[in-house]
Amino acid sequence: MDPALIAGLGNVELIARRIVDGFLQGLHRSPRKGFSVEFAEHRAYQPGDDLRYIDWKVLARSERWMMKLNNEDTNLRATIVLDVSRSMNWTGNPARLTKMAYAERLAAAIALLLLRQRDAVGLVRFDDRVRTVIRPQARTVHWHRLVAALDDPGSGRGSDAPGGLFRAAALVNRPGMVILISDLLMESDEVTDTMKGLAATGHHLTALHVLDPTERDLDVAAIEAEFEDPESGAKLNAEPAEVREAYRTAVAESIEEWRERFASAAASYEVVMTDQPFGLPLRRAFLNRQILP
């Protein structure tokens, strides 16, 4: 759905429901074995086992007491790590959502998708420090708490992504999923090192790089303009027409560098434009994770 149109539907909760509406529900599978519905293997009976799961056909044929083990439906534990620093609260066109508004709606939609799949999802919001920590839960009512947290204050000057990622990892006691949503206007070394550490512990990692079209293309009509860094306050006067090509090259190189860095951390990486329908980044980013069909 077009972000410019969907923004007029109402609050974040309603918008996220509309984004998710129409998506088929996926189902994760766990390598753990349990007594579920999909057969996996047999094992020998042990005293104390539930007699309901004895394979009576095997017993009748071979007089061996065997238990039927089945694949257990997962409870994937995911944490969304959302950047709410000041640079996110920007748009290059008043008709478009700010990066933060787009990211909040995207985060709410991801959370709803996970919860509808019976997965647990939590939230960490950060700027120059961690602002919100909500532990993953799989209850449907938990989504309202996550959505309410998106209205909490933020927009600090800095972006402490490593701190947010560390808090996300601390919320899960077994390998799960960590989803970083940010404009990535931050030092890349610390973020990459942190992601590698999370990957080493078995977490599946996804980074959604939120960009405004003006931010990518420097599509500014002014002959001369003053540019200001919203986080550091640094200012620079320039003529957009003279620096546009060099700027676009620098942005393309930065995107490629992030792609390579996240690949080195075994993390999937997607650029998400704020004029792009929400369904596109959802499908591209999570198709290979089986969150979406």
Q: At 131, is the secondary structure helix, strand, or coil?
A: strand
Mean pLDDT over residues 124-153, rounded? 89
pLDDT in the model for residue 136 = 92
In this prediction the pTM is: 0.77
pLDDT computed for residue 7 by the predictor: 59
- pLDDT given for residue 287 in this prediction: 60
CA neighbor of 287 nearest in space, from 275, 262, 270, 273:
270
Tell me, what's the pLDDT at 19?
Answer: 63
pLDDT at 225: 81
Domains of the chain: 3-27+75-289 (3.40.50.410), 29-73 (no CATH)
Q: Are 159 and 186 spatial neighbours (Cβ–Cβ below 8 Å)?
A: yes
For residues 191 and 227, the model is more confident at 191
| Spatial CB neighbours of 64, under 8 Å, sequence gap ≥ 6 | 44, 58
Burial tier of 80 (Cβ tally within 10 Å: 0-12, 13-18, 19+): buried
What's the mean pLDDT in 24-51?
A: 52
Alpha carbon distance 238, 170 (integer Å):
44
Q: How much is the pLDDT for 214?
A: 93
What residues have CB less than 8 Å from 22, skipping those under 6 apart?
A: none
Q: Calculate the alpha carbon distances from 222 to 96, 135, 227, 229, 241 in Å.
A: 19, 46, 12, 18, 9
What is the predicted pLDDT for the residue at 28?
41
pLDDT, greater one: 38 or 85: 85
Place of tokens 């939590």: 122
Tokens for 173? 């006691």
292 versus 235: which is more confidently predicted?
A: 235
In tens, the pLDDT along 187-198 reads 889 999 999 999
Q: Using alpha carbons, list the distances in angstroms from residue 251 to 44, 141, 182.
A: 60, 41, 15
- What integer pLDDT is reported at residue 283 of this predicted model? 76
Tokens representing 70 are: 């089945």
5-23 tens-digit pLDDT:
565 555 666 666 666 554 4
**Sequence-ordered strand ranges (E) for the chain:** 29-34, 38-44, 66-73, 77-83, 120-126, 130-137, 177-182, 204-211, 225-228, 235-238, 267-273
Write out pLDDT tens, residues 93-125.
Answer: 988 999 999 999 999 988 888 887 778 899 999
